[in-house]
Amino acid sequence: MTRVYAALAVGVIAVSFAAIFIRIAQAPPLVIATYRMCLASLILLPVAWARSREELSSLSKGEVFTALLSGIFLALHFGVWIASLSYTSVATSVVLVTINPIFVAIASRLLFGEPLQRRAILGVLICLGGGMIVAYANWRAGITPLFGGLLALLGALAMAGYLLIGRRLRQKVGLLSYACLVYSSAGLFLLLATLALGYPLFGYTAGTYAMLVLLALVPQLLGHSLLNWSLRFVSATLVTIAILGEPVGATVWAWLILGEAPNPIEVAGGILILAGIFVALHRRDAPVL
């Protein structure tokens, strides 16, 4: 299990850089999301075909459809979350988008009949309190940051769907095959949306393209792939608990690199949200082999 925990740690550190790369990139949010997924897919496709061609060819229609559905959730997640960073602070956006463990716990109860214990209910209430504090901080700042917070919450819902589907599918499908199908379908959906809405794909600065490449390589191919690999051995709940480190890392990077310090109200609300998720979901998790 040491290998799994190490992979989770590296994955969380990698994804915590995403908000910084996005903030620096000077491009529309949907274009950033499209480049992130399309570049990652173009790099991954030949590797997956060379090493997992037999498995990819043997997947059932149901497994392919499930992977495509996961890709839709992933595309929606990146589309709305990246957009949220244009309206609110890195701290607020990343804290709210990582509230997805609460949605995972509730969905697991409703869809799979997994018990929702008292501590889970208490954690939900704590999260709601923290969310109200963060919402208040954004409401004080104006309607625009509040809208950004709502977009981040929608991104959290989409991420919950992506993780729940991935947990089921990764029990039967290898990492390369799964990531290839999910990343490619998400990239295709985002590309179609970008073209349909008339956003230009070219004409940006060299610095922006550098950030888009880093976004595909570090948070996506390294970070998300390690998180997906971990789903084969531990529950989606444990992975979402590990992801709680992302807002801490992203906030620190935003402070050091962008000079964007969170205000005290955001910090208080964020701490409550993270505490609520920890209270709701912290338990011993046996590996699933």
Which tokens sit at 26? 């000077």
Dihedral of CA 149/40/254/241: which sign? Answer: positive
What pLDDT does 288 receive? 34
- What is the C-alpha to C-alpha distance for residues 152 and 82, in angstroms, rounded to an integer? 8
Q: Is residue 72 part of a domain?
A: yes
User: At residue 284, does pLDDT exceed 50?
Assistant: no
Q: Is residue 143 part of a domain?
A: yes
Q: Is residue 19 part of a domain?
A: yes
pLDDT digits over 239-270, tens only? 766 777 777 788 888 888 988 877 788 788 87
Q: Is residue 289 part of a domain?
A: no
Q: Is residue 8 part of a domain?
A: yes
pLDDT class for 18, splitting at 50, 70, 90? very high
- What is the C-alpha to C-alpha distance for residues 138 and 143, in angstroms, rounded to an integer? 8
Give how many domains the chain has, as a whole number.
1
pLDDT digits over 190-216, tens only? 999 999 999 999 999 999 999 999 999
Enclosing domain of residue 266: 2-281
Q: Is residue 126 part of a domain?
A: yes
The answer to whether the beta carbons of residues 176 and 51 sit under 8 Å apart is yes
Q: Is residue 286 part of a domain?
A: no
Q: Is residue 288 part of a domain?
A: no
Q: What is the mean pLDDT of residues 111-125?
A: 71
pLDDT digits over 31-56, tens only? 999 999 999 999 999 998 898 888 88
